[in-house]
Amino acid sequence: MKEFNVAVAGATGAVGQKMREILEERNFPIKNIRFLASARSEGKELVFRGAPVTVETLTKDSFKDIDIALFSAGGDRSLEFAPAAAAAGAVVIDNSSAWRMDPEVPLVVPEVNPEDVKWHKGIIANPNCSTIQMVVALKPLHDAARIKRIIVSTYQAVSGTGQKAIDELKRQSDDIAAGRMAEARVYKDQIAFNLLPEIDVFEPNDYTKEEMKMVNETRKMFHDETIGVSATCVRVPVYVSHSECVNIETERNLSAAEARTILSKAPGVKVVDEPANRVWPTPLMATGRNETFVGRIRADESVANGLNLWIVSDNLRKGAALNAVQIAELL
């Protein structure tokens, strides 16, 4: 088997760490690996396949002889360094929002639109975490009955913001349990024992940037600009794994039983749907797992061709690192 020279940019962050883990777990064919991060992490040693690898500072000269570059270094750094990596001959798989809606850059979920990797020009975008898990579950239903309209409400874990938000939730929970005042530093308001209906900045239409990502990215990957998508994204006091309540309206009637059968055969999906036994997906069930879990599948009795679904997935794995590595496997 051919082996590849791989670089991970942003290797010390939460998603970068998951990328390293998943490359090992899936035994990706690596000849040499390079870990890149900001200057403050230079010289730090990270263990990969039992051997130490020294972290190097990310620069435009970091990609000589690199075949595949996994980026999880933030949008600004991706805009600065991804073109240099591509110019050096690497294929960049970028986890930020920087390139997702660029018409020259494919936006890919391997279970949904693997064929789009073929037209890359050196950069491939990894979609938003909340979009990934939704389209993994909806694409098989779209293929079967064509989805006309999607209404989604998300319940997104704090790890989507990063380690600082994980630390804040823990700190606030400890403070409240001890009778102390909980201080909000990362979010505008306290996140512990609370819900925040604001993820990313608000756009002129009063939807947040996160919500519009779900609209625009879904249409791009489904190759259908006519699908109606309305999203409400909410941050919840959960460490890992996003949950979503999704309502769809299809062109032809799709019963809950048929949807269950379709999803049980769909790649990357695990149906967990036994309401009589009180069995359904939860964030704890999904954490550390690669599947997208789907349950609470039922007819929407308010419209002729409607379905409701509950979708849960580990946002650090399938929502970020795993999807990027799967794109690399496609390459």
Q: Are 19 and 53 in contact (CB under 8 A)?
A: no
The continuous run of DSSP H or E covering 327 comes out as: helix 322-330
CA distances from 224 to 93, 94, 153, 308 (A): 23, 23, 21, 21
Q: Has 120 been annotated as catalytic?
A: no
Q: Has 242 been annotated as catalytic?
A: yes
Sign of dihedral through CA atoms 138, 144, 145, 148?
Answer: positive
Tokens of 46: 């990270």
Q: Are 174 and 90 in contact (CB under 8 A)?
A: no
**Annotated catalytic residue within 120, 129, 142, 233:** 129
**Annotated catalytic residue within 120, 142, 233, 242:** 242
| CA 308 – CA 151 distance, rounded (Å) | 9
Tokens 């620069």 label which residue? 59
Return phi, psi of residue 304, to 5°: -70, -45
| CA 174 – CA 182 distance, rounded (Å) | 9
Sign of dihedral through CA atoms 27, 106, 247, 161?
Answer: positive
Q: Is 13 helix (H, G, I), strand (E, B) or coil?
A: coil
| CA 16 – CA 81 distance, rounded (Å) | 16
Q: How far is CA 278 from the centre of its chain?
A: 27
| CA 153 – CA 130 distance, rounded (Å) | 10
The upper half-sphere exposure of residue 266, i.e. CA atoms within 13 Å in the direction of its Cβ, equals 29
Residues annotated catalytic, as ranges: 129, 242
